[in-house]
């Protein structure tokens, strides 16, 4: 069963959590081209949030070219190949922030590198 995880205790907004995880599933190939996402109403009911929260997550994915939103029908995955090229600068900034946090925790260059290695292995193993 394909699932996503939500954490109401996290500082990350729920719509970002949803968007990030659906993006991850598409990237790993778990959600393939043409796959239907649950309706906004159904996902909002299961997560326990307002309809707008899920709609916002789906809009982010649609803006990235990962999901096709058509009025009156369910959101459909367009597939990674059609995804718009991400802004490299923006991604570097986000990665830089992660590295800063790890360094501030007292980790050295090798430990940070090992951290990324493990994260990469987990991502492609799933």
Partner 1 sequence: MLSRIILASTIVTVVLVVWLVARADGERVFYMDLGRRLDERDRARVRRVQGVTLASALVGVAAAAFAPLPAAVLVATLLPFAPIAWLLVEVVGAVKSAKPAEASLRFRVPLTEPPPAKQYVSLPLQIAHGALIALSAAAFVFVRGQLPVLVPLHFDAAGRPNRWGSPDELWALGGIMLFCWALCWFLVVGVARERWALPTAHTEAYARASRRRRELLVRMIEVLMLCVNAAVAVSWLGIAIGSLPGWSHLLGITVAVALVLSAGGAVGSLVAFLAPLAAVQRQLSALGGVALGTRRDGWRWGGMIYYAPDDPALFIPKRLGIGQTFNFARPAAWLILVLLVVVPIGLAFTSMLLSRR
CA distance 68 to 18: 16
Tokens coding 10:
């996290």
Is residue 51 at the binding interface for partner 1, with CB under 8 A as the rule?
yes
* Among candidate residues 20, 107, 7, the one with its CA nearest the CA of residue 48: 7
Among 20, 24, 39, 107, binds partner 1 (CB under 8 A): 39
Which DSSP symbol is given to 82? G
Among 13, 28, 29, 45, contact with partner 1 (rule: CB under 8 A): 45
Q: Which of residues 18-37 bind partner 1 (CB under 8 A)?
A: 22, 25, 31, 37
Binding site for partner 1 (CB under 8 A): 1-9, 22, 25, 31, 37-39, 42-51
């Amino acid at each position: 069963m394909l699932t996503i995880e939500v954490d109401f205790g996290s500082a990350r907004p729920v719509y970002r959590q949803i968007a990030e995880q659906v993006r991850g599933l598409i990237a790993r190939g778990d959600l393939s081209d043409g796959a239907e996402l649950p309706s906004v109403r159904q996902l909002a009911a299961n997560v326990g949030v307002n309809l707008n929260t899920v709609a916002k997550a789906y809009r982010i994915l649609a803006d990235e070219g990962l999901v096709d939103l058509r009025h009156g029908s369910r959101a459909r995955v367009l597939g990674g190949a059609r995804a718009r090229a991400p802004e490299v600068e923006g991604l570097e900034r986000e990665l830089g922030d992660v590295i800063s946090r790890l360094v501030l925790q007292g980790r050295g260059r090798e430990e940070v590198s090992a951290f990324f290695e493990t994260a990469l292995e987990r991502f492609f193993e799933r």
